[in-house]
Amino acid sequence: MTSRTAIVTGGASGIGLAISRRLVGDGTVVAIFDVDGGAARDAATEICTDGGKAIGLAVDVADRTAIDAAVTEVRSTLGPPAILVNNAGITVAGPFLELTAETWNRVLAVNLTGTFDCCQAVLPDMVEQNWGRIVNISSSSMHSGVPGMAAYVTSKAGMVGLTKVLALEFGRRGITVNTIPPGFIETPMMRDSLSKGVFDMDLQVAKTPVGRVGRPEDIAATCSFLVSEEAAYITGQIIGVNGGRNT
C-alpha cells in the first residue's frame, strides 16, 4: 500500500495503538484521534521514530464539531483520508436496573454515534477517491451478551448494523466496510475490567480454544489485511478474532 491516509480513533492505547503502528509499518500515513490528546501525540511521535509518518490529535468522537475540525486538519496536512478504523470505545459495567440514562447515553455516544459521525465525516473523501476502507472494532460480546454490560453490548451490536448498511450503500464506490469483534484482548481497558472483577482471566483463557489471551497485534494484523488492496472483495462482514471462541 502506498501512502494512503488513515484515521484510527482511540489510537493512543491498546488495540488502536497496535493498529496505528501496524498501518504505519504497512506504509500508510496515520492520524490518531484520541480524547487523550497528549497520549495521541506521544504515540505518533513514537511511531515516527521508526521512519513512519503519523500525527496525533485530541478528538472526542462524541463531539461532531471536533471530528469535523480534525478531519479538515488531516486533509490539509496528510491528504484526504482513505482508511478509517473506528476503534475508540468505553465500557461501563453494572446491574441493568442501576444503569442511568446518563451512562447509557455516554456509552452510545462514544461507541456508536461516534462511529456514525466519523463515517459520515470521511466518506465524502472516500467517494471522491473512488476507494475506501472502513473497519469498525465491535466486540465479541455482541454475539454472546455479557451480564451487566447492556449499554456496551448494545452499542457494539449497533456497529454491526451500521457496517452492513454502509457496505451496501458504498460497495460500488470502491469502499469496503467490515467489522472486527475482538475476543478477550489484553489491553489497559481489559486490565481495568479484570481489576474490577468483571471478568476472570483464568476462566476466559479456559474458554478459549487456542489457550491464551489475545494480543492487540492479533487485531492489528486482521485490520491490516482488511484495509489492503487484496481485501477489495470482502465487505459487510463480521471477522471474529477471538481465539476460536464459540460465537
Return the active site residues.
152
Stretch of 21-29, 45-53, 86-94, 143-151 lying at the interface with ligand NAI (CB under 6 A): 86-94
Q: Which of residues 47-76 bind ligand NAI (CB under 6 A)?
A: 59-62
Quick note: the x/- pattern for ligand NAI over 162-201, rule CB under 6 A, is --------------------x-xx-xxxx-----------
Residue placing its CB nearer to ligand NAI in the complex, 127 or 189: 189
Q: From CA 55, how far away is CA 202, in angstroms rounded?
A: 38
Select from 13, 176, 179, 204 the one that contacts ligand NAI (CB under 6 A).
13
User: Between 137 and 156, how does the x/- string for binding to ligand NAI read (CB under 6 A)?
Assistant: x-x-----------------
C-alpha cell at 42: 506521544
C-alpha cell recorded at residue 104: 447509557
- 158-169: b (≥16 Cβ within 10 Å) or e: bbbebbbebbee
Rule CB under 6 A: choose which of 6, 7, 8, 12 binds ligand NAI: 12
Burial of 72 (0-12, 13-18, 19+ CB in 10 A): exposed
Reference 6, options 171, 223, 246, 231; nearest CA is: 223
Establish if 87 lies at the interface with ligand NAI (CB under 6 A): yes
Assess 36 for contact with ligand NAI (CB under 6 A). Answer: yes
> Rounded to the nearest whole angstrom, what is the least distance from the CB of residue 220 to ligand NAI in the complex?
11
Could you tell me the CA-to-CA distances from 137 to 88, 94, 171, 202, 203 in Å, in that order? 8, 22, 19, 24, 24
Least separation in angstroms between residue 124's CB and ligand NAI is: 21
User: What cell does 4 get?
Assistant: 494512503
Contact criterion met (CB below 8 Å) for 82 and 4:
yes
Q: How far apart are CA 120 and CA 61, in angstroms?
A: 12
> By the criterion CB under 6 A, which residues form the site for ligand NAI?
9-10, 12-16, 33-36, 59-62, 87-91, 110, 137, 139, 182, 184-185, 187-190
